[in-house]
Amino acid sequence: MNILNQVKQRRSHFRKEFTGEKISQEEINYLLECSIHAPSHKNTFPWRYIVFSGESLNDFSKKIIEIYKQRTAVEMQNPEQIDNFEKLPSQVSHLIAIVMKRDEAKRVPEIEEICSVACSVQNMYLGLNDLEDIGGFWSTGMFCFTEQMHAYLELGSEDKCLGYFILGKVNQKRQQAPRPDFSTFVQYK
């Protein structure tokens, strides 16, 4: 398939679409291998992925409930939200924390490393095109930017969690995201 059709076919599939079935290690490896072929200035390779599944995903779910309770006044805590966090391990097959590992010598500005990690996530998104019954999406929910999550993921002081790539089996994949004509986004000078 040509590249334009590949990128047109790339879609997010969300938790409510997941069947709860598990994805094989081979398929996860395929996505991770796609991820590392992203560009990075000075080849700093700033992407790091921390994969949660099975028992570790149960632990992740407990952690986000703990963070939610720490950060939300008791009278504001919503049982439906807690229930949503509790259901995560039964709906999701794998949750991959997306991490920017800062170059120790800071050879490039931080924003370049963040951009590079985003390219790497896009590669995983595109890799999903080859996996017929697997969907996923980039989530920036579940306290990914908090100091509690930073500590839980045992990140270095300059590193950043940029969210999660959340994966599950889906019955049917949607194709062709709606987009306006490309000229909408372009200026010529």
Ligand X SMILES: Cc1cc2nc3c(=O)[nH]c(=O)nc-3n(C[C@H](O)[C@H](O)[C@H](O)COP(=O)(O)O)c2cc1C
Piece in contact with ligand X (CB under 6 A), picked from 17-25, 59-67, 103-111, 137-145 = 137-145
Q: Least distance (Å) from ligand X to the CB of residue 113?
A: 15
- Contact residue for ligand X among 9, 65, 82, 138 (CB under 6 A): 138
Closest CA to 4 of 185, 188, 182, 183: 182
Q: Least distance (Å) from ligand X to the CB of residue 144?
A: 8
Piece in contact with ligand X (CB under 6 A), picked from 66-74, 79-87, 88-96, 135-143 = 135-143
3-state secondary structure of 29: helix
Query: Residues with Cβ < 8 Å from 184, sequence gap 6 or more?
Result: none
Q: Least distance (Å) from ligand X to the CB of residue 10?
A: 7
- Contact residue for ligand X among 8, 9, 12, 51 (CB under 6 A): 12
Residues 93 and 23: their CA atoms lie apart, in Å, by 6
Does residue 140 interact with ligand X by CB under 6 A? yes
Strands (E), 36-174: 47-52, 94-100, 134-139, 160-169
Under the phi-then-psi rule, with left for phi > 0, alpha for psi from -120 to 50, and beta for the rest, what region is 165? beta
Closest CA to 165 of 59, 34, 69: 34
- Per-residue binding string, ligand X, 93-132, x by CB under 6 A, is ----------------------------------------
- 161 near 155, Cβ under 8 Å? yes
Residue that is written with structure tokens 């069947």 in the block: 19
Please, which residue, 14 or 45, has the CB nearer to ligand X? 14
Please, which residue, 29 or 140, has the CB nearer to ligand X? 140
Please, which residue, 25 or 140, has the CB nearer to ligand X? 140
Which spans of this chain sit near ligand X (rule: CB under 6 A)? 11-12, 14, 137-141, 163, 177
